[in-house]
A and B are shown apart, each in its own frame.
Chain A
Amino acid sequence: MAFGLIGRVVGTKPSRLSTAARLIPARWTSTRSEAQSKASSGGGGANLKTFQIYRWNPDNPGKPELQDYKIDLKDCGPMVLDALIKIKNEMDPSLTFRRSCREGICGSCAMNIDGCNGLACLTKIESGSKETTITPLPHMFVIKDLVVDMTNFYNQYKSIEPWLKRKTPASVPGKEILQSKKDRAKLDGMYECILCACCSTSCPSYWWNPESYLGPAALLHANRWISDSRDEYTKERLEAINDEFKLYRCHTILNCARACPKGLNPGKQITHIKQLQQSG
Chain B
Amino acid sequence: MGASKLSGMQKQVLSLYRGFLRAARSKPIEDRKRIEMIVSTEFRHNSKEVDRKNFQYIEYLLRLGTKQLDQLKSPDIISLSSVKVVASKT
A61 interfacial by beta-carbon distance below 8 Å? yes
- A61 with B56: CB separation less than 8 A: yes
- B63 with A58: CB separation less than 8 A: no
Question: In the bound complex, what is the Cα–Cα distance between A64 and B54 (angstroms)?
Answer: 11
Q: How many residues of B contact A (CB 8 A)?
A: 8
Question: In the bound complex, what is the Cα–Cα distance between A56 and B57 (angstroms)?
Answer: 10
A141 interfacial by beta-carbon distance below 8 Å? yes
B88 vs chain A, min Cβ distance (A) = 15
Of B56, B59, B63, B67, the residue contacting A64 (CB under 8 A) is B56
- A141 with B59: CB separation less than 8 A: yes
Q: How many residues of A contact B (CB 8 A)?
A: 11
Residues of A within 8 A of B54 (CB): 61-62
- B59 with A58: CB separation less than 8 A: no
Of A56, A149, A151, the residue contacting B56 (CB under 8 A) is A56
Residues of B within 8 A of A62 (CB): 54
A96 vs chain B, min Cβ distance (A) = 14
Q: Which residue of A lies closest to B54 (CB)?
A: A61
B18 vs chain A, min Cβ distance (A) = 22
A-B pair number, CB within 8 angstroms: 19
- A61 with B57: CB separation less than 8 A: yes
- A149 with B57: CB separation less than 8 A: no
Question: In the bound complex, what is the Cα–Cα distance between A89 and B90 (angstroms)?
Answer: 18
Q: Which residue of B lies closest to A144 (CB)?
A: B60
Residues of A within 8 A of B67 (CB): 151
Q: 1/0 per position for B26-40, CB-CB distance to A under 8 A?
A: 000000000000000
Q: Which residue of B lies closest to A59 (CB)?
A: B87
Question: In the bound complex, what is the Cα–Cα distance between A62 and B55 (angstroms)?
Answer: 10
Residues of B within 8 A of A149 (CB): 63
B13 vs chain A, min Cβ distance (A) = 16
Q: 1/0 per position for A57-83, CB-CB distance to B under 8 A?
A: 010011110000000000000000000
Interface positions, chain A 144-173, Cβ under 8 Å from B, are 149, 151
Question: In the bound complex, what is the Cα–Cα distance between A62 and B56 (angstroms)?
Answer: 9
Residues of A within 8 A of B50 (CB): 61
A272 vs chain B, min Cβ distance (A) = 35
Residues of A within 8 A of B63 (CB): 141, 149
Residues of B within 8 A of A56 (CB): 56
Q: Which residue of B lies closest to A58 (CB)?
A: B60
Q: 1/0 per position for B57-72, CB-CB distance to A under 8 A?
A: 1011001000100000
Question: In the bound complex, what is the Cα–Cα distance between A151 and B70 (angstroms)?
Answer: 13
Residues of B within 8 A of A143 (CB): 60
Q: Which residue of A lies closest to B61 (CB)?
A: A58
Interface positions, chain B 9-60, Cβ under 8 Å from A, are 50, 54, 56-57, 59-60
| Closest A-B pairs by Cβ, 10 of them | A61-B57, A58-B60, A61-B54, A141-B63, A149-B63, A58-B57, A61-B56, A64-B56, A141-B59, A141-B60
